[in-house]
Chain A
Amino acid sequence: MKALVVDDEPIVRRLLETSLTEWGYEVISAGGGEEAWAILQREDAPSLAILDWTMPGLDGLELCRRVRALAKPQKPYLIFVTAKARTQDIVTGLEAGADDYIVKPFNRDELRARVRVGFRMLELQAVLADRVQELEDALARVKQLQGLLPICSYCKKVRDDRNYWQQVETYIEGHSDAQFTHGICPECREKYVAPELERLRQVRRATEGGA
């Protein structure tokens, strides 16, 4: 699990880096908003970021807004760790798109617990995204079998979307997960198989009689 630390204060950055490493996370750090923005746009961007708010250049708030506007399916979990402690600041930070907010100087145990919550949320999101994908795939298959199928009234072949007539089992196998095992129903046994067996018996009797 990879975390990004963004703070222009070397001491705070060092403290965060050391703490996260100690807790078993892989850590990347950035000394400013621009550097962090470049890292967060990468393919292998960390999934959780701890941001300072007040930084020269691109500050944490603007960074937060940019990250939220990213066209990525899985957006990183953002935690503000900032000395801005007024209620209004907290509201502004969370409304800009941060997932959590911790006031500096922070308590290490609290930070650790909140980082864990962050990774737990990310895991939950990933599981849900997988489930949604599975359901979408299943739905797509169901849709393939919906609609009006042209079928021959006599031989029961089905016309597909490329205008070929297919055996009904070939068509269904191609448009769903269903597979067929072939057998004979009692009515067809009576109608087709019995007369055919009878014909074969007659042929044999005729042959034996002639010999």
Chain B
Amino acid sequence: MSAEPAVDLDGALRWVGGDRRLLLELIGLFVEDLPGRLTGLKEASATRDVRQLERLAHSLKASAAILGAGDLRGAALALEEATRSRRLDAAPELLADVEREVGRVSAFFDDPAWRARLEGGASA
């Protein structure tokens, strides 16, 4: 989808006012929640629970934005808007986009390189 890295650490650091320790903590919370969020989205989609699907997509969007995961934010936003306007036929495809972006973000954080970048170099 995009050649850019899945997460813009510099952007994320700006959101938290340059507080690296806080950003590390927020990333920890996010990574921990991510598999559960995806499972929740899939369940809501499978049971056609529109309200739940919209809500989960909405909150994923908010967290992704803070952590600089722009593509994931975009995918979550598209899913949220589709469910809000009850375009449910589009939901499976949009959910697949979200899942792919969740994969990219997870892979980004699985690679310890980001931690070194944050602690060593990412400029605020």
Residues of A in contact with B (beta carbons under 8 Å apart): 8-12, 14-15, 18-19, 54, 56, 83, 104-105, 108
Tell me, in angstroms, the Cα distance from A104 to B61 when the chains sit together. 10
Question: What are the residues of chain B within 8 A of A11 when measuring CB–CB?
Answer: 26, 29-30, 62-63, 66-67
Which of A15, A56, A83 is packed against the most chain B CB atoms within 10 Å? A15
Residue B43 interfacial (CB < 8 Å): no
**Interchain residue pairs with CB less than 8 A apart (10):** A9-B59, A11-B30, A15-B26, A15-B66, A18-B19, A83-B58, A83-B65, A105-B65, A108-B15, A108-B16
| B 17-36 contacts with A by CB, 8 A | 17, 19, 22, 25-26, 29-30, 33
Question: What are the residues of chain A within 8 A of B25 when measuring CB–CB?
Answer: 14
Specify which of A19, A54, A83 is in contact with B17 (CB 8 Å cutoff). Answer: A19
Chain A's closest residue to B33 (CB) is A10
Q: At the interface, is chain B mostly helix, strand, loop or mixed?
A: helix
Determine how close the nearest CB of chain B comes to the CB of A111; give it in whole angstroms.
10
| B 62-90 contacts with A by CB, 8 A | 62-63, 65-67
Question: What are the residues of chain A within 8 A of B59 when measuring CB–CB?
Answer: 8-9, 54
Tell me, in angstroms, the Cα distance from A9 to B56 when the chains sit together. 10
Question: What are the residues of chain A within 8 A of B17 when measuring CB–CB?
Answer: 19, 108
Tell me, in angstroms, the Cα distance from A108 to B18 when the chains sit together. 11
Residue B48 interfacial (CB < 8 Å): no
Tell me, in angstroms, the Cα distance from A56 to B53 when the chains sit together. 12
Specify which of A8, A10, A18 is in contact with B22 (CB 8 Å cutoff). Answer: A18
CB pair B62–A104 under 8 Å, yes or no, is yes
CB pair A15–B61 under 8 Å, yes or no, is no
Determine how close the nearest CB of chain A comes to the CB of B52; give it in whole angstroms.
8
